[in-house]
Amino acid sequence: MKPAMPEAENELVNITIREAEPGDLDAIVEIDKQVSGVKKARYWRETLEHYSGQRGSEFFLVAELRQSVIGFILGEIRAWEFGSPSCGWVYAIGVARDHLQQGVGSKLLDVLCGHFRQADVTKVRTMIARQDHELLSFFRSYGMMAGPFQQLELDLENLRTD
């Protein structure tokens, strides 16, 4: 006889991934605060307003379980930035602390990648802090690898003005 599925895996089938709506703002702010330690209500309000424009290349999705938002993902298709043909970018992802490691993040990324594929995009990219082992493990386990670009930066106070 097959072993019973753990409760968390059972829960995954009850999770819906849908477009974010203005009423999701508080939940998104709270999840982001849990994962980043910073409350950014204004940033998320403006981002939600911007992404609800339905341009077909921008995606703000949430994971919902029994009328509660338990995760979000933000992504966009961009063409020719950094000389790259159209590619899908993952800008942000977050899963509520009490729903971690139950497949919610993967389900959000699956749906986002599905939107990218529907738009005939063949690559997905993201950028993460080197020391962020949680995100790095998550994206690596999804199959993402180091890409061909190198990020550069400069402290502007060191910029020569002469």
Check residue 138 for interaction with ligand COA (CB under 6 A). yes
Residues near ligand COA (CB under 6 A), total: 18
Binding ligand COA by CB under 6 A: which of 10, 16, 68, 141?
141
Check residue 113 for interaction with ligand COA (CB under 6 A). no
d(CA 132, CA 150): 17
Least distance from C-beta 26 to ligand COA, angstroms?
Answer: 17
- Paired tokens of 37: 């330690």
Check residue 10 for interaction with ligand COA (CB under 6 A). no
Nearer to ligand COA, 88 or 105 (CB): 105
d(CA 97, CA 91): 19
Binding ligand COA by CB under 6 A: which of 9, 21, 110, 134?
134
Check residue 36 for interaction with ligand COA (CB under 6 A). yes
Angle at the Cα of 93 from the Cα atoms of 96 and 20, rounded to 5 degrees = 85
Nearer to ligand COA, 10 or 161 (CB): 10
**Binding track, positions 84-103, relative to ligand COA; x by CB under 6 A:** --------xxxx----xxxx
Q: What is the DSSP string of 30-56?
A: HHHHHHHS---HHHHHHHHHHHTT--S
- Paired tokens of 55: 């341009």
Check residue 75 for interaction with ligand COA (CB under 6 A). no
d(CA 10, CA 19): 23
d(CA 10, CA 103): 11
Contacts with ligand COA by CB under 6 A lie at 35-36, 92-95, 100-106, 134-135, 137-138, 141
